[in-house]
Chains A and B, each alone.
Chain A
Amino acid sequence: MDVQIDRVKASILKHKSQKKALIAILQDIQAEHNYLPPDALRAVARSLGVPLIDVIGVATFYRAFSLKPRGRHIVTVCLGTACHIRGGPKILEEFERKLAVQPGETTPDGQFTLETVACLGCCAIGPVVVVDRDYHAHTTTRKVDGILKRYRKPGRPS
């Protein structure tokens, strides 16, 4: 835990302890841990002199932040209008089945977090599935396995 707090402090110093840098600092923490650990949030609140509740308010407002630990890979299935009519829900179901989690949940081995989004702005290549930063265009339920395999750690039973 100590290391973690040190890194938080470093990030705060990088932004010169400015209150207006709150979101940037939270982004740093999120990038490092994949979620916002409670102790880190407390440390941010203390060093910026912002009430903890306001830090939490910001952290829970944006989808980019998560208060729950998230998996190594974030699988985001688009359910926007265009992807929806092209079979987004079917693909989501397939992911749910394959990973045995509901949207917003993380697999017990900490590998994948399943999420949904309403339109990514690239409807032409829909249905879209984004894993981490890779866009998988024209996804079908048959491609789901292949996509997951690419990110699964090699040598692990699938």
Chain B
Amino acid sequence: MIRLIMNGLEVQAEEGWTLLETAQFYGLEIPTLCHNEGLTPWGGCRLCVVEIGAKPKTRLVSSCTYPAEEGLVVQTDTKRVIRARRMMIELMLSTAPMSKKIQDLASKFGVTEQRYPPRNEECVYCGLCVRMCDEQMDARAIGFQNRGHKRKISTPFDIRSEDCRLCGACIYICPACSARCQGPSAETDICNACLQIEPTCLEEYGELNCWMYDAGRCGTCVQDKSK
């Protein structure tokens, strides 16, 4: 058992746990994008950063790759952490503004302005699809190619790979592949619609349709109001 301090609480981690796993075990929420339980940690998106060490010598590390250490002092939601996370969201938003997942993150973290021009690349290089293809599907049909600004994910020679069984796992796990609610004709770079939602109710505003795509997803209209 490893003992460490997380947000002022004394917590215990098992040998081999990462900071993220420890936090999740204790119900402390840390946002992630490139992390998936079934895949090896990647540390690419930096959304999961936490602050470690004693003041004033603290530093930011990605919790999904940092192992739990004896006596470590961890803060999961300091100003510095939030600022770093918002920056990462803003950058990813400029790379792939069409992604619902990233738009949702922006709304959740109150990222309401975007200082970088949209690049509409539709890939944030989280590497989830590559790891999925390799580790879970055992196919190794796609991978990173080139480097620097020319980096891309593709099959060998950009043609259909013999190793690909068309299982679709890469699309399933891709955070950038699901289109944002407004679809491809969105006019703004930032959606933020969820921020303005006053939960409506289909009974009163039925003819306006639900705010969400499939009715009832938000749950307000189907909740038992008597309670």
Q: Using a CB–CB distance below 8 Å, which chain A residues touch chain B? A: 38, 41, 51-57, 60-61, 67
Contact = CB atoms under 8 A, between A and B. Distances in A.
Given A38-B157, A53-B141, A56-B157, A61 B163 contact: no
Interface in B153-172: 155-157, 161, 163
Contacts of A51: 134, 140, 143, 163
Contacts of B146: 60-61
A60 B163 contact: no
A46 to B, nearest CB: 11
Given A38-B157, A52-B156, A57 B163 contact: no
Interface of B: 134, 140-147, 155-157, 161, 163
Nearest to B152: A60
A56 B163 CA distance: 14
B161 to A, nearest CB: 8
The B interface, classified by DSSP as helix, strand, loop or mixed, is: loop
A64 to B, nearest CB: 13
Contacts, number: 35
Given A51-B140, A51-B163, A52-B163, A57 B145 contact: yes
B157 A57 contact: no
A38 B159 CA distance: 12
Nearest to B141: A53
Contact of A56 (B134, B145, B147): B145
A54 B140 contact: yes
Given A38-B157, A53-B161, 20 more contacts: A41-B156, A51-B163, A52-B140, A53-B140, A53-B141, A53-B143, A53-B155, A53-B156, A53-B163, A54-B140, A55-B156, A56-B145, A56-B157, A57-B143, A57-B144, A60-B145, A60-B146, A60-B147, A61-B145, A61-B147
